[in-house]
């Protein structure tokens, strides 16, 4: 403590003379008692001296944390500001001592909007500065009575602002899900709300295409899930909602199969084609509750006569239609042979393919 060194030298010689006189008065006592009495008077003298010193005023340096509040409307701060202020103060010794031994120091709140911002010309951002000498009264008022603020370091605070903008963005869930055997998603995953408003510096908001959720990691999922999921925190960016409700519909699936006929499309009127085989088997996974509702009319398998290459003796099968609620669809065979039957009642000969 700087102020403590000041009064140590000032009163030491005077106190030494008083203690020497007291020691002379005790010269007739036994040596051990003289030492004890000397120490007693020395302690009493030091206490009075210390209390007297605390009543004097001293100039010292204090380090205080600072929080900045109330920036200009629709503007975002894009530079770093000092997290502490170095204060040169004048106060009584007991006030300074109280500060040094305080366990909790409240930060100084720097109300930016209460000061006139001085502009600095800059082509990229709007830059301003405030002289901290203009804030001595504001700072002293927060420190409490008995402390006069003489100086503040740094002497200048610089502020760089950019315009704030807002934009509606879709929310995209980030999922890492492992399902229990035979359980799968039935339908689609949804979030509520599915769109949030992002606000922040225009240069950053304009590059965003969506807002991801925080990662959701689930193992052995075997039932539908509804979960509150938070949105990530970005520096200088805020969202209209901090959390969204995630909904994952889950059902138990079973494997099933169905036989459906193969249709020939784009066939000339003069031709009749028979495929071998004439049906294919479709394999799929279906939710147990939808199992009984599957029928062959919900499927359509075709071969295209116009897609037949010359000299090729088979058709490629295409599964043209299937229910949208079944999963992992596959079919067999993927190729079918065929024979062509000519309609002799027609006056036109079939094109040689």
At residue 94 the predicted structure's pLDDT band, cuts being 50, 70 and 90, is low
166-251 maps to CATH 2.170.120.40: yes
At residue 240 the predicted structure's pLDDT band, cuts being 50, 70 and 90, is very high
Please, what is the end-to-end C-alpha distance for the chain in angstroms? Answer: 104
Q: What is the mean pLDDT of residues 289-295?
A: 91
For the chain, the average pLDDT equals 82
Residue 350 has pLDDT above 50, yes or no: no
Nearest in space to 49 (alpha carbons), one of 7, 20, 98, 101:
7
57-163 maps to CATH 2.170.120.30: yes
To the nearest whole percent, how much of the chain has pLDDT over 70?
78
Q: What is the pLDDT of residue 103?
A: 59
Neighbours of 147 (CB within 10 A): 20
Taking CA atoms, 29 is separated from 17, 24, 42, 179, in Å, by 20, 10, 17, 93
Residue 228 has pLDDT above 80, yes or no: yes
Residue 353 neighbours by CB under 8 Å, 6+ apart: 308, 310
- We find that the CATH architecture of domain 254-342 is Beta Complex (2.170)
Q: What is the pLDDT of residue 72?
A: 83
Residue 353 has pLDDT above 50, yes or no: no
Q: What is the pLDDT of residue 241?
A: 95
């Amino acid at each position: 403590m700087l102020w403590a060194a000041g009064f140590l030298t000032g009163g030491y010689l005077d106190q030494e003379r008083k203690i020497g006189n007291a020691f002379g008065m005790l010269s007739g006592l036994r040596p051990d008692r003289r030492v004890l009495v000397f120490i007693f008077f020395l302690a009493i003298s030091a206490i009075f001296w210390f209390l007297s010193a605390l009543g004097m005023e001293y100039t010292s340096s204090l380090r205080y944390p600072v929080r900045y509040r109330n920036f200009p409307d629709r503007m975002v701060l894009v530079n770093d500001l000092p997290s502490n202020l170095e204060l040169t103060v004048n106060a009584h010794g007991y006030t300074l001592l109280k500060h040094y031994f305080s366990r909790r120091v409240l930060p100084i709140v720097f109300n930016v909007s209460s000061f006139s911002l001085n502009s600095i010309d800059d082509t990229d951002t709007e830059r301003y500065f405030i002289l901290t000498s203009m804030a001595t009264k504001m700072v002293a008022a927060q420190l409490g009575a008995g402390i006069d603020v003489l100086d503040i370091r740094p002497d200048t605070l610089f502020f760089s602002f950019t315009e704030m903008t807002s934009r509606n963005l879709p929310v995209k869930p980030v999922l890492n899900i492992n399902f229990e055997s035979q359980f799968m998603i039935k339908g689609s995953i949804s979030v509520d709300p599915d769109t949030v408003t992002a606000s922040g510096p225009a240069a950053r908001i304009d590059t965003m295409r969506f807002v991801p959720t925080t990662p959701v990691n689930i193992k052995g999922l075997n039932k539908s899930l509804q979960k509150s999921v938070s949105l990530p925190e970005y520096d200088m960016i805020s969202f209209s909602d901090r959390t969204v409700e995630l909904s994952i519909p889950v059902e138990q699936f079973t494997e099933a199969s169905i036989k459906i006929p193969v249709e020939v499309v784009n066939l000339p009127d003069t031709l009749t084609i028979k495929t071998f085989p004439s049906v294919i088997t479709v394999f799929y996974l279906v939710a147990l509750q939808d199992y009984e509702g599957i029928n062959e009319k919900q499927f359509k398998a075709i071969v295209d006569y116009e897609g037949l290459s010359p000299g090729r003796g088979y058709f490629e099968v295409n599964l043209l239609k299937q229910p949208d609620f079944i999963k992992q669809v596959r079919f067999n065979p993927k190729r079918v042979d065929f024979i062509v039957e000519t309609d002799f009642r027609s006056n036109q000969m079939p094109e040689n393919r």
